[in-house]
Every structure is written in C-alpha cells, then in structure tokens.
Amino acid sequence: MTPINCDDILALESKLDLLLPDSYKYLISTYGLLHSPNVLTKICDLNVEVSEVQDFLSLEDVSSLSKLYEMSGMPKGHILFASDCKGNMFCFKLTDCISKTIDIPVWFFEHEFSTVRKVSNSFIEWLEQFNKL
C-alpha cells in the first residue's frame, strides 16, 4: 500500500468543491488505498451483519465513479470512497462535506435497488467494525 500524497487529496477536494473528513484523509495519506479481499470470507465465517468493503477507490475513481453512479441511478448528493465485491459502494453525503470535520457518517449505496442507507455514524466507527472481525 502506498500512502496518497496530501496535495493530491487537496486537489480532489478542490475539484469536487468539498472537504473530506480528516479521519478518511488520515487513513489514505498514512496507509494508502486499502484492499481487503478476506473480509467477505471472515463475515460469512462469523455470520455477522456487516456490509463488506473490498477496495478503497483511487482519487480519480472517487471523482469519476461518483458522477457515473449518479447518472446510473444513485440518489444525488453522495461521494463514493470504497466498494464491496458486488458493485455496491460506500460513500459520504455531500452535505456532510461542506465544512471541515474530523469524522462523518458512512452510507451504503446498493446498486440493485438504487438505495442509500446509513451504515455507520462515523468513518472511524465503520472501520472499527472490521477490526473486530
């Protein structure tokens, strides 16, 4: 994993006219884009109710896929940051990205039904559920 340059993160925020949560920026600037193919297996083995994350999106994909998914039926007002293994996406609400924040809720876009639901009250809380696995 290669850490993402902070200048590249700032460029994405400027391009999208938003402020990503500090907790997310810290993760990708310190550790890079996470890839967790074993999460689904662990979730199935333990029979827990967690929406699995497989890949964190590149900064280019954050921008382009957010627009593409919106054109394909995702409700407006979300910025994607990670995917599961089925084409569903984890996202932040754009209204939460207006001002500088340490942490914000995580939402889940289910492409089959074109619905978005909150899966965690914070990004840090969302990550911690995977650590418990």
Q: Which domains does the chain have, with CATH numbers?
A: 6-131 (3.40.1580.10)
How far apart CA 11 and CA 25 sit, in angstroms, is 12
In eight-state DSSP terms, residue 35 is B
Most confident of 8-12, 39-43, 84-88, 123-127: 8-12
User: Does residue 47 surpass a pLDDT of 80?
Assistant: no
Span 39-59, average pLDDT: 59
The whole-number pLDDT of residue 35 equals 59
Structural contact between residues 76 and 70, judged by C-beta atoms closer than 8 angstroms:
yes
Tokens of 88: 């569903």
Rounded mean pLDDT of the chain?
86
What band does 51 get if pLDDT is binned at 50, 70 and 90? low
Q: What is the pTM of this model?
A: 0.85
Structural contact between residues 29 and 5, judged by C-beta atoms closer than 8 angstroms:
yes
